[in-house]
Amino acid sequence: DTGVSQDPRHKITKRGQNVTFRCDPISEHNRLYWYRQTLGQGPEFLTYFQNEAQLEKSRLLSDRFSAERPKGSFSTLEIQRTEQGDSAMYLCASSMSGGRAYNSPLHFGNGTRLTVT
């Protein structure tokens, strides 16, 4: 399967702990996005990368959140000092950009469900 994969699928952590999630995009895709989804809501944009460059961060992304894509392939999203409000599904998506970028829909991974107790 060459889709977007995310790890872990579920993470339960205590408030104040740090967590890190990993996303492996579709291999030929140069854009990678992180979204967060809470119950009853659509996904909300957090940040995105073109190759290894982080090009935009949402205001939702407090300074406790950091994302990296060191070699332009996989990405990690770290949340430091987790809070109960961080409990959500964290979705990664990738796409191919170049030229008529809007013709390349995002392909999503299955997400990492974070529960902060």
Partner 1 sequence: EDKVVQSPLSLVVHEGDTVTLNCSYEVTNFRSLLWYKQEKKAPTFLFMLTSSGIEKKSGRLSSILDKKELSSILNITATQTGDSAIYLCAAPNFGNEKLTFGTGTRLTIIP
Binding site for partner 1 (CB under 8 A): 4, 31, 33, 35, 40-45, 48, 55-56, 91, 95, 97, 101-111
Distance of closest approach, residue 76 Cβ to partner 1, in angstroms: 19
Name the residue with tokens 């959140």: 65
Identify the DSSP state of 18.
Answer: -
How far apart CA 103 and CA 21 sit, in angstroms, is 28
Distance of closest approach, residue 32 Cβ to partner 1, in angstroms: 11
Identify the DSSP state of 7.
Answer: E
Distance of closest approach, residue 75 Cβ to partner 1, in angstroms: 16
Nearer to partner 1, 13 or 50 (CB): 50
Nearer to partner 1, 76 or 104 (CB): 104
- Give the strands of the sheet with 65-68, arranged side by side: 5-7, 19-24, 75-79, 65-68
